[in-house]
Amino acid sequence: MSSPPSPALFEPDPAYERLATRLIPGYGSLARLAVSLLATSPLAAADGAAVLVAGCGTGAELLEARAQRPDWRLTALDPSTTLLAVARQRLEGAPIDWHCSRVEDLGAEAAFDGALSVLVLQSLPDDGGKLAFLSALARSLRPGGQLVLVDLMRPERSALQEQVERAWCQFQRASGSSADPADLARAVEAPHPIGMARLGALAEAAGFGDPAPVFKALDFEGFLLQRRP
């Protein structure tokens, strides 16, 4: 597998998380893992820490953050009005600062103690879009603030990569997907995954230190990044 499902498979839909659970190995644990990692970071561990959820989708990370750290001051943003409406409904009454926008447009410099970004970077082309996104996240964090980033990665090709691609299709069937494997193979060409070396270069240019791996399931990987002082 070299790319994630196409935008058609991830179109804004209230059933997004059920679909993502079928498509992405370990998806059901990603929000819990991401919040747990950030909750133990140097700045976000403090009571009342300010945390940004960039690309909040239908609110999985927000729900987990409210469960684990109800003291956090949460800011949630997503450019999709449909997904944001679902998240707001699920978290109705929660003290969350909502924004229908991109992180690049937020304009919050050094305002947050930590940030979460799950399955967002993969959708941005590497034509300056990925760097702009990561740079905006770095600017929004206080020095020493950490980012939990989960994304689909493009691994180095190897003799076993074809088996990994077949395993992804098998995972879909075992998870109840009715999509034809050939359609899935064509669908995964749309988004924009990158390799570890490229991620490291982008993180450095954006103002982060080296990404520390924290999660891997097939080609989906999670990293902990820290803004440099």
What does the block give as tokens for 141?
């964090």
13 pLDDT higher than 50: no
Question: pLDDT digits over 129-167, tens only?
Answer: 999 999 999 999 999 999 999 998 986 666 676 787 778
Question: pLDDT digits over 78-88, tens only?
Answer: 999 999 999 99
Q: Where do the domains of the chain lie, and which CATH numbers do they carry?
A: 28-152+193-226 (3.40.50.150)
Q: What percent of the chain has pLDDT over 90?
A: 65
191 pLDDT higher than 70: yes
Lowest mean pLDDT across 105-109, 110-114, 189-193: 189-193
Return the HEC string of the chain. CCCCCCCCCCCCCCCHHHHHHHHCCCHHHHHHHHHHHHHCCCCCCCCCCEEEEECCCCCHHHHHHHHHCCCCEEEEECCCHHHHHHHHHHCCCCCEEEECCCHHHCCCCCCEEEEEEECCHHHCCCCCHHHHHHHHHHHHEEEEEEEEEEEEECCCCCCCHHHHHHHHHHHHHHCCCCCCHHHHHHHCCCCCCECHHHHHHHHHHHCECCCEEEEEECCEEEEEEEECC
Whose structure tokens read 């304009």?
107
pLDDT band at 6 (very low <50, low <70, confident <90, very high): very low
Q: What is the pLDDT of residue 56?
A: 96
**153: β partners:** 194
Phi, psi torsion values for 208, nearest 5 degrees: -100, 160
19 pLDDT higher than 80: no
